[in-house]
Structure 1
Amino acid sequence: MMEIFGFPIDSAGRCKHYYGENDIVSIKFTCCNRYFPCYKCHDESTDHERQLWQKEDFQEKAILCGNCFNELTIDAYIHYQQCDNCNATFNPNCAKHYSKYFEI
């Protein structure tokens, strides 16, 4: 199983910042190649600046479903908002923060 860094509060990757029912996505940060539940967890637990995933890298598997631990591509995550393995639905409000992770 992939390790989730930062401040997860449960095995699905919910964290102290975002812990709603559908907050089950962790994102691998390109700057450190580690999964974090959110950008706040990354910023509070690392000593470097966040780097955004560039559009040409959106086919990289950098999204972790907290329900089944399937890795999804960034493109699949952005366009479908659900896991292509277990069909778990992700929080649609996360789209408000895409600019913290991805070159949009």
Structure 2
Amino acid sequence: MAHSTTRTTTAPETDDRFEVPLRGVAVDPETRCRHWDDAVDVVALRFACCEAYYPCYACHAEATDHEPEQWPTDRFDEPAVLCGACREALTVEAYLDCEDNCPACGTAFNPGCREHHHLYFER
């Protein structure tokens, strides 16, 4: 007898250590995850599809059963990037202009993340 499984587009419970809805795999207190855990990997990004923050696209893939939606350009003035060091929610505009340092606390962000902006932000 075949059985069906119910799937949802809702990610697992959010991490209550953060004031924003943040989800991911093996997330540490500064938003590093199983996939990206260098000292400078302290950014979580908000996905438009589920309005939740994830440390990376791989966390989104593992935590959901839907395709990711990039943050739309007409919402670049809304908070969509979280600094894991100081927990400041940044607009996409502020993040893209910050030159790899949090504008609120000065913590270094991974400059390699620039190579993945197309996964998170519309252009």
Which runs of 5 or more structure 2 residues have no equivalent in the other structure? 1-18
C-alpha root-mean-square deviation of aligned residues, in Å?
Answer: 1.1
Alpha-carbon distance change, 3 to 55 in structure 1, aligned in 2, over 3 angstroms: closer
Return 2-11 or 49-58, whichever deviates more: 2-11
- Tell me the distance in 2 between the aligned counterparts of 1:44 and 1:13: 16
1:28-47 to 2 correspondences below 5 Å: 28-47=46-65
Quick one: which of 111, 116, 119 aligns to 1:92?
Answer: 111
Match of 1:99, SS?
helix
Of 9, 14, 21 in structure 1, the residue corresponding to residue 39 of structure 2 is 21
Q: Structure 1 CA distance, aligned partners of 2:20 and 2:40?
A: 19
**Match for 2:103: what amino acid?**
D
Moved over 6 A (4+): none
The superposition leaves residues 70-97 of structure 1 with CA deviations (integer Å, 9 ceiling, x where unpaired) of: 0000111112122221111110100000
Instruction: Give the deviation of 1:31 after TM superposition.
Output: 0.7
2:85 is matched with 67
Q: 1:53: which partner in 2? A: 71
Structure 1 residues 38-77: Cα deviation after superposition (integer angstroms, max 9, x where no partner): 0110011101110011222111101110001000001111
**Structure 1 unaligned blocks of 5 or more:** none
Counting helix residues as a fraction of each chain, which structure ranks higher?
1
Instruction: State the shift of 1:21 in Å.
Output: 0.7
Identity of aligned residues (%): 41
Equivalent in the alignment of 1:82: 101
Which letter maps to 1:22? Answer: V
Q: Distance in 1 between matches of 2:39 and 2:116?
A: 18
